[in-house]
Chains A and B, each alone.
Chain A
């Protein structure tokens, strides 16, 4: 990964971020806005009550096309894409042969294939992996000329319906190609905040004008990666490379629903033997939600102990939840301690802090179903 400022890539909204007064930080090789002048707390709370615009153009977008594209893609992931209608989106994971997670991604059925959105930090290796794994059966077309904007929050639906009435009846995890005020957009009703909202792919050359159009709507304020992280944490959503990695399976990661029914019966995805065994017999550890009793946040890497002082796990994401009004975390614990309500201790700055295992999300979701 580039470590100097000069090596950083920029998104098509780079000059807009600077115009808006963003604080820029390096993230996954890109110079990205971590926050705007309002700050992470206000950006977070605004997203939960109105609508925020996030630049997620650093993420990778691609088409996987061809008559055999669906079948070929299914050899890499545990999701059932054959059963899905065009215009439907599903979250899935790329697996290695041990059932470990190479990345998580969104894949949408479109005419003739799939539209994929993958994590920025993984995109080069993901695309190489998908290309190799589907060679001779499908064509991967990486979309380098499109930006990706996320419009998130309970008022996102009203905002987009005002600009593009045909988006009004879209349900969560629906995809549609929509011309919004002259911009050719791919609109997916989805997101990473626990709120209703959209991820909108727009040609790079139109990105700034389109972002300004969204920001000119009275409900919409810009928000950066800082609040994106606190929002997804409260929503109980995994951050790849932290909460799920090549060392964790979807079963350990408590996202076993990514292994769809037909695939449980048929297998045929990497690590299937391990994953199907874990589905039947359980795992030694599980990802859980963790609510510290006090006010001190417990960060990633914090040791988790049982109340007798034995190490039982590690926090993989933790911080302050602005909507919860206190610290929230997630991490892996030995399965015997995974039941909601279990008392645990978090070792913060050498001292045990009382906490308990809880069900996630920490906040209610407002998805349009």
Chain B
């Protein structure tokens, strides 16, 4: 299993043709406490860059974009029911949705662990 990252501070964990997507600790730190999360329903077809989920803090709403094209296999109802689930477990139970990838070559343009770390360091 490998993990990739986007410029929008999403992580993508790859297992076969299923990509699990969440937001990074850096993203959560920027957003602040989450008070509302909306995840996509299974079966929705998304293209890379489409709005796929919504996260809201007390102050503002932000979109989570599909980092890869495909069909939504599952939205994480646990984070929608309790947005606090994301805090402290962004890379575990705090995942947002799973996509059955239609074009795995899209992964090539994403950052690996070291690349993302360097990207975040460059922002601070």
Contacts and interface: CB of A to CB of B under 8 A. Distances in A.
Contacts of B36: 295-297, 320, 327
A226 B54 contact: no
Nearest to A325: B35
B32 interface: yes
Interface residues of B, number: 12
Nearest to B56: A297
Interface of B: 32-33, 35-36, 38, 54, 56-61
Contact of B59 (A42, A226, A295, A296): A226
Contacts of A299: 60-61
A223 B35 CA distance: 19
Interface of A: 34-35, 39-42, 44, 226-227, 229-230, 295-297, 299, 319-320, 322, 327, 349
11 contacts: A35-B32, A39-B32, A39-B33, A41-B32, A295-B36, A297-B35, A297-B56, A297-B61, A319-B59, A320-B57, A322-B35
A44 B33 CA distance: 12
Given A35-B32, A320-B56, 16 more contacts: A39-B33, A40-B57, A40-B58, A41-B33, A41-B35, A226-B59, A229-B59, A230-B58, A296-B36, A297-B61, A299-B60, A299-B61, A319-B59, A320-B35, A320-B36, A327-B36
A63 B54 CA distance: 48
Contacts of A320: 35-36, 56-58
Nearest to B83: A295
Contacts of A40: 32-33, 57-59
Contacts of A297: 35-36, 56, 61
B58 A296 contact: no
Nearest to A35: B32
A41 B33 CA distance: 7
Top 10 A-B residue pairs of the complex, sorted by shortest distance between their CB atoms: A320-B35, A41-B33, A40-B58, A320-B58, A39-B33, A230-B58, A297-B56, A226-B59, A295-B36, A39-B32
A39 B59 CA distance: 11
Contacts of A226: 32, 58-59
A147 B57 CA distance: 30
A42 B57 CA distance: 13
